[in-house]
Each structure stands twice: as structure tokens, then as C-alpha cells.
């Protein structure tokens, strides 16, 4: 049975979290979620069409009674807007979970760390289970964890870039210096990227574009599931030490002499 992890009062087995943007349809998105085995799905509240005809809205297809919906504050550029959006998500979905995003640069979509910390402080005081999207900065992650965030979500690479894990060294430092789950968020482009994140010891991976923009999104979703599971299993198994020189696979003691 896969090992579980907790975020606040919520427990999960799947270590793959899926987004809901850039798909051809909600039905394609649902097929990818099912193929991925994800239990939690993140939705950008500011991009939800509240005027969609009955039966055609996102929550009619990706139903909250099947999946844990993780509302996110994507599209917010200051702490006040992010807090307001989080409150809307709690009222709409009756969940304390929020993926906190406060964007600081429109071109790179890098987060505004100061505003993220400001918003996190308010939301934690209001009882939210806060999962902040943040740069791969160990100090920022330490500050957010100290505030009481349920996890930290450092980027692997810029959102939608597909460049993979660009700074494994920083992720290692984050993993060593915070006591909350570390979830890689953004930049994963293919299955090997997800495996790297998990082999480092990350708790989970959140991705969207890597699946949605694949030539075959459903097959890629399954590949991401397998990579996440195998990466976690390899981490739990413990890899062999790296060596500079060769080491014979067969023992040399007792070898026959001719």
C-alpha cells in the first residue's frame, strides 16, 4: 500500500496533484486525472466560469464528491486579492485548503515572496490550511513553514516551462531545513522530472502543463503516475552510495585461481 501523508487534517495516498487548465475540455481533464490516480485537483478560482450552463461547469465534470478540490489564488498580484480569493474558495467549496499564489512578475510568473508571506500570515490566522507556491529559496520556505503553513511548494522551474528540476541543490537544502511536506510545484515537463523530485525526498508533485500539452495527455498522465510512484519507492528504498571508481558486482573473495 502506498505510504500516506497529511496536509493539515487531510490525508492522501497519491503523491501526484493535477491542475485543471489548458486542457481541450473538462472531459479530457477528467480522463487525465483518472489516469494519474490523483486524489487532489487544484482549480484557479478566478478562472472558473460561474455562468456556465447547468451540467457544463468544471465542478459538474470534476466533482468535489470524487476529488479533493484545492482552490488556488492564481492570477492574484497582491496579498489582499489572494486573501479575498481564498475566502471565496472556502465559501464555495467548504474546504480549509488553499494553494496560495501571489505573482510578482507577469512575464516569468515568479511569486512575490514578501506578499506571499503577508497573505499566508492572514490566512493561517483565519484557520486555512495554507500551501504556498514559492521560489526554491530555502530561507523563504523556512519562514513560511515557521508561520504555520501545512507545506511549502517551491517551483522546479518557471510555470509552464517544462524545464524540469533546475536547482536540485536548493531543494535538498529545503528538504533538510523544513519539517513540513515539500511539494514541487511548476516546471515538470516529463516523467523523469517527476521521478527526480520524488527521489530527492519531496512529498508530492503538482503539475498541469506537462500533461495538458503532451501529444497524448492521458498517456502522459499515466506516465507521471508511474514516475511519481517509482521515484517515491526509490527514495524509501535508499539509493546506493555514489563512487568515483568501479566496484565489481561479484565479490573477489574466494575467486578461483588458474
2-20 per-position pLDDT tens digit = 689 999 999 999 999 999 9
Pairing of strands 5-7, 10-12: antiparallel
Burial 64-101 (b: 16+ CB within 10 A, else e): eeebbbbbbbbebeebebbbebbeebbebbebbbbbbb
* Inside any domain, residue 243: no
Low-confidence ranges of the chain (pLDDT < 70): 1-2, 250-258
* Inside any domain, residue 242: no
Domain count, the chain: 1
* Inside any domain, residue 90: yes
Pairing of strands 153-154, 68-72: unpaired
* Inside any domain, residue 251: no
Residue 247 has what pLDDT?
79
Residue 257 has what pLDDT?
64
pTM, entire model: 0.92
Residue 3 has what pLDDT?
84
Q: What's the 3-state SS for 69-88?
A: EEEECCCCCCHHHHHHHHHH
* Inside any domain, residue 13: yes
* Inside any domain, residue 209: yes
Q: Determine the Cα–Cα distance for residues 114 and 9; give it in Å rounded to an integer.
A: 27
Contacting residues for 228 by C-beta, under 8 A, at least 6 apart: 15, 16, 194, 195, 198, 204, 205
* Inside any domain, residue 255: no
Q: Residue 217's domain is classified under what CATH number?
A: 3.20.20.70
Q: Determine the Cα–Cα distance for residues 12 and 1; give it in Å rounded to an integer.
A: 12
Task: Give the structural domain span for 103.
Answer: 5-237
Decide: 204 and 15 in contact? Cβ < 8 Å: yes
* Inside any domain, residue 152: yes
Residue 254 has what pLDDT?
62
- Positions annotated as catalytic residues are 99
- Identify the three-state secondary structure at position 150: coil
Pairing of strands 5-7, 97-100: unpaired
Amino acid at each position: 500500500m502506498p505510504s500516506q501523508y497529511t496536509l493539515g487534517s487531510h490525508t492522501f495516498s497519491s503523491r501526484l496533484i493535477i491542475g485543471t487548465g489548458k486542457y481541450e475540455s473538462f472531459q479530457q481533464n477528467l480522463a487525465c486525472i483518472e489516469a494519474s490516480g490523483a486524489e487532489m485537483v487544484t482549480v484557479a478560482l478566478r478562472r472558473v466560469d460561474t455562468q456556465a450552463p447547468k451540467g457544463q461547469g468544471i465542478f459538474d465534470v470534476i466533482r468535489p464528491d470524487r476529488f479533493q478540490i484545492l482552490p488556488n489564488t492564481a492570477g492574484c498580484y497582491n496579498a489582499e486579492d489572494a486573501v479575498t480569493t481564498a475566502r471565496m474558495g472556502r465559501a464555495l467549496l467548504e474546504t480549509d485548503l488553499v494553494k496560495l499564489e501571489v505573482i510578482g512578475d507577469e512575464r516569468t510568473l515568479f511569486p512575490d515572496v514578501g506578499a506571499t508571506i503577508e497573505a499566508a500570515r492572514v490566512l493561517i490566522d483565519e484557520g486555512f490550511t495554507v500551501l504556498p507556491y514559492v521560489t526554491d529559496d530555502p530561507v523563504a520556505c523556512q519562514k513560511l513553514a515557521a508561520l504555520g503553513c501545512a507545506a511549502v511548494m517551491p517551483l522546479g522551474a518557471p510555470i509552464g516551462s517544462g524545464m524540469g528540476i533546475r536547482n536540485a541543490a536548493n531543494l535538498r537544502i529545503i528538504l533538510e531545513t523544513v519539517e513540513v511536506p515539500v511539494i514541487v510545484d511548476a516546471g515538470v515537463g516529463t516523467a523523469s522530472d517527476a521521478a527526480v523530485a520524488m527521489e530527492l525526498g519531496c512529498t508530492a508533485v503538482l503539475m498541469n502543463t506537462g500533461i495538458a500539452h503532451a501529444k497524448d495527455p492521458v498517456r502522459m498522465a499515466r506516465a507521471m503516475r508511474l514516475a511519481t510512484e517509482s521515484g517515491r519507492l526509490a527514495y524509501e528504498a535508499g539509493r546506493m552510495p555514489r563512487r568515483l571508481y568501479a566496484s565489481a558486482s561479484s565479490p573477489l573473495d574466494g575467486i578461483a585461481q588458474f
